[in-house]
Amino acid sequence: MIYVTRPSMPDFEEYCEEIKKIWNSKWLTNMGEEHEVLQKKLEEYLGCSDVVLFVNGHLALESVIAAMNFPDGSEVITTPFTFASTPHAIVRNGLIPVFCDINPENYTMDVDKIEELITEKTVAIVPVHVYGNVCDVERIDAIAKKYNLKVIYDAAHAFSIKYKGVSVARFGDASIFSFHATKVFNTIEGGAVCLPDDSYVDTLNNLKNYGIRDEENIVAVGGNAKMNEFQAAMGICNLKHIDEEISKRKVLHDRYVERLETVQGVKMCKLQKEVEYNYSYFPVVFDGFSCSRDDVFDVLYENGICARKYFYPLVSDYQCYNNYQMSFQKNTPVAKYISERVITLPLYSELSLGEVDKICGIITRIGSK
């Protein structure tokens, strides 16, 4: 099978050499040496003032929302075209997600529709850099300032990406990253909150470690969301190779474009101007194609290729929200349209050009029938 993704990993010997330090110190978790090294390296690589590491990206997002201490029942504008983590983090903080439609070009939040959703209860905007496509950060910033709203970017797909030479980690009041095994950069599981200053650092550290300051002082009601030393060691190793990994992905991305750009009914995202990509995903929308997205998905699977209907269904349609007493904004026709037609094709650094050609050949043959 050709899976939609495969984790990037360092050489076995390189990782073993890194984790020798853990065997020597016997310090497995609770912000040890590996944790501190990775934190500093990420602050340097991402060009942001402060990085707070977490056991995963979801708890990073949930915690930074909690750190901002919004009143229960407040509204947060976000997108329905995202992974479950985004609205779950909002709802689990006692807040109400209000869904803004997406634009049909790069599937990020449609900034022209944000202001009409703002009410006296709105406290924040949580946009998502979907597939690594960068949100309209300038207009979102202007709207947030106009209405005195916080902006928390879900940048789970956007590690290493720059816009106008600036890391996406530096936009908004905070950005969160996922370091899950399926991401361009991984720490096995993991995540981080990136901040423009240290305003929320202490609060986030309290939230991820039971509020413990020392053996006798528990200063906040926190949970347990710490990144352990083995995760951090994997991150230290993978960070050394991240630029090489992205370069390999670009070659594969360009091959997909070359092979599919003339296939009728296949729509691909155009690269945004002034954006340095990480080529994390390759989404394709089947619009006017000879058969449905689901038919293409099935044929690919029959040929040993695991694509993904990503994102489908929309998060606003999840069964788990049916019984919530929430005034969900569900008028998102563009997001609905795209979600019913999109799949992401396999893309990872070890994928071969021959395998890309195989995938494109199958799609081309389907389209010619």
What domains are defined for the chain? 12-240 (3.40.640.10), 242-368 (3.90.1150.10)
Token pair 């347990």 is found at: 224
What confidence category does residue 330 fall into, taking pLDDT thresholds of 50, 70 and 90? confident
- The string of pLDDT tens digits covering residues 208-227 is 999 998 889 999 999 999 99
pLDDT reported for residue 235:
98
Q: What is the pLDDT of residues 243-263, one digit of tens each?
A: 999 999 999 999 999 999 999
From CA 42, how far away is CA 34, in angstroms rounded?
A: 12
Cross-sheet strand order for the sheet of 122-126: 50-54, 191-195, 174-178, 150-154, 122-126, 75-78, 96-99
- pLDDT surpasses 90 at 70: yes
What predicted TM-score, i.e. pTM, was given to this entire model?
0.96
Confidence (pLDDT) at 30: 94
| 74 band by pLDDT with thresholds 50, 70 and 90 | very high
Q: Rounded to an integer, what distance in angstroms lies between the CA atom of residue 366 and that of residue 361?
A: 9
Q: What is the pLDDT of residues 103-157, one digit of tens each?
A: 999 999 999 999 999 999 999 999 999 999 999 999 999 999 999 999 999 999 9
Give the residue carrying structure tokens 């009143």. Answer: 71
Closest to 368 (Cα-Cα) out of 209, 232, 260: 260
328 — pLDDT class (breaks 50, 70, 90): low
